[in-house]
Structures are given as C-alpha cells and as structure tokens.
Amino acid sequence: MIAYRAYYLDDAGCFTHAEWVRALNDDEAILRARKFVATSVKCELWQGARVVARLTLDDWTRPYPRAC
C-alpha cells in the first residue's frame, strides 16, 4: 500500500482538513479521496512531494475523476 495525503479546500481556497489515504496506486487513491469529501470544493492529492491529482467539486459527480 502506498500512503497519500488528501488536502481539502473550501470555496474561498482555504484549507479545511486533510486525510491519509492508503491505496495500491494513483487511480485507487483518487477514488478513495473522493469518499472523504463533505463540504470541500477542491481536493489536492499528494504522494510525498508529488501532486497526484487536483480535483474540483465537479469531479465528485463524475463516475471516474481525471488526474491533472
């Protein structure tokens, strides 16, 4: 399992909270990060110093998010 960190931001771009995400690969980590979202409008998923994905509120409604 790979450790990722999901950082959630509100509509003003302010950090609201972060969650550890453990997954086998980037795609699985993105799917898991989506499940944590509550009131956030943006999520940045990091694996160490590497940005894996930047997701917006629109990505939560897509069946599968696109990594940036």
The angle subtended at Cα 68 by Cα 19 and Cα 49, nearest 5°, is 50
Residue 18 lies in a domain: yes
User: Distance (Å, rounded) from C-alpha 23 to C-alpha 18?
Assistant: 16
Residue 67 lies in a domain: no
DSSP string, 28-68: HHHHHHHHH-SS-SEEEEEETTEEEEEEEHHHHHSSSPPP-
Give me the domain span that covers residue 11.
Answer: 2-61
Q: What is the domain count for the chain?
A: 1
Residue 11 lies in a domain: yes
Residue 19 lies in a domain: yes
pLDDT above 90 for 29:
yes
Residue 15 lies in a domain: yes
Encode pLDDT of 35-67 as tens digits. Answer: 766 567 888 999 999 999 998 877 655 555 454
Model confidence, pTM? 0.78
Q: Quick count: other Cβ atoms within 10 Å of Cβ 40?
A: 20
User: Percentage of the chain surpassing pLDDT 90?
Assistant: 44
Residue 66 lies in a domain: no
Residue 68 lies in a domain: no
